[in-house]
């Protein structure tokens, strides 16, 4: 039922947290190590999935939070680049 869907959605969001965590950890690396194409791609990916996470039924707020964090991290990396 719906509890199962929410649980699977939570697991997917939890796995997705590896992306913003990696980006946040990379904030300590020199800016010249940043790949602007990959960083821009990850930022675009998160914009799409932020919208998708609230368009689905039921909305997946765990996934929204993950992609909001990733969007912030990727934009911080782009500003450093």
All structural domains of the chain with their residue ranges = 2-80
* 25 C-beta neighbours (distance < 10 Å), count: 10
Instruction: Tell which wins on pLDDT, 1 or 42.
Output: 42
pTM: 0.82
30-61, pLDDT tens digit by residue? Answer: 999 999 999 999 999 999 999 999 999 889 89
pLDDT at 5: 81
- Closest by CA position to 18, among listed 66, 74, 54: 66
- In this predicted structure, what is the pLDDT of residue 22? 92
Q: Cβ(59)–Cβ(53) under 8 Å?
A: yes
pLDDT band at 14 (very low <50, low <70, confident <90, very high): confident
């Amino acid at each position: 039922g719906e509890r199962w869907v929410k649980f699977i959605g939570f697991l997917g969001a939890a796995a997705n947290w590896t992306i913003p965590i990696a980006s946040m950890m990379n904030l300590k690396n020199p800016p010249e190590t940043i790949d602007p194409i990959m960083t821009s791609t990850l930022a675009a990916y998160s914009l799409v999935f932020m919208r998708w996470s609230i368009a689905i039924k039921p909305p997946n707020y765990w996934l929204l939070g993950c992609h909001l964090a990733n969007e912030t991290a990727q934009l911080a990396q782009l500003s450093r680049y």
